[in-house]
Amino acid sequence: MPSLEALYLQENEISSVAPMHGLPALRLINLSFNQLSDVTVLNAFLPLPSLAELYLNGNPVETDDRQALPPAYNAQSLHPLLLVN
């Protein structure tokens, strides 16, 4: 699936995400309204060089601890990065 550009996985009760490899064209991931509760889940998306949009709204992710964000996300490389609860 190297040409996959968007992945819509909202409302699937997903509670964890494994690192994603082999998806160089993936630009958008929608994981809204799942069960992701740890901001470090973002580490799974670090191997995705084209990722520009990541939607995590509606998850019980703790957004207050910005220091837990991987450094790549502290640089605000994603637009938008939605962590809204």
82: confidence class by pLDDT, cuts 50, 70, 90: low
Measured between alpha carbons, how far is 53 from 55 in angstroms, rounded to an integer?
7
| Alpha-carbon torsion, ordered 54, 60, 18, 29, to 10 deg | -20
pLDDT at residue number 42: 82
User: What's domain 1-85's architecture?
Assistant: Alpha-Beta Horseshoe (3.80)
14-65 pLDDT, tens digit each: 999 998 899 999 999 999 999 998 877 888 988 898 988 888 888 887 655 5
Does the structure show a pLDDT above 70 at 79? no
DSSP state of 49: T
User: What does pTM read for this prediction?
Assistant: 0.78
DSSP state of 72: H
Measured between alpha carbons, how far is 31 from 14 in angstroms, rounded to an integer?
8
Structural element, H or E, at residue 71: helix 71-74
**In this structure, what are the phi and psi dihedrals at residue 30, rounded to the nearest 5 degrees?**
-115, 105
pLDDT at residue number 39: 78
pLDDT at residue number 76: 45
CA angle 76, 77, 78 (to 5 degrees): 90
